[in-house]
Amino acid sequence: MARVEFSDDIVTFKCPGCGWTHRLNTDPEIRPCWSFNGNLDNPTITPSINAWREYGGNRETQRCHSFATNGRIQFLGDCTHSLKGQTVDLPEITGGGDE
Ligand SMILES: [Zn+2]
């Protein structure tokens, strides 16, 4: 079962830690650029994925910093969500369509 989607040189997956959909460019003509092993079932993406945003009235920073390796995702200690410091399986993409 696929854990990531790949089209137009972009790897996409729903992150079990922060709940966002991470979109990662693999086209070397465009920066930033990640390396993807091409395996939808057991993806490895390098270097690390470091996503953040400022959120809410007090502009609190939310951060998701992770390594996706062989179908698992390791969250580093500087994440602001509850899976920080843990390694979990990337969820499988189920069902058909986006509805
Ligand atoms: Zn995330």
- In whole numbers, what is the pLDDT of the chain averaged over residues? 94
Residue 29 Cα to ligand 1 midpoint, Å, equals 24
**Domain boundaries along the sequence of the chain:** 5-88
Reported as a single tens digit per residue, the pLDDT across 52-96 is 999 889 999 999 999 999 999 999 999 999 999 999 999 999 866
Residue 9's pLDDT is: 97
Residue 63 Cα to ligand 1 midpoint, Å, equals 8
- pLDDT cut 70: percent of the chain above it: 95
More confident site: 97 or 89: 89
Q: Contact 79/18 with Cβ under 8 angstroms?
A: yes
- Residue 33, classified by CB atoms within 10 Å of its CB into exposed (0-12), middle (13-18) or buried (19+), is middle
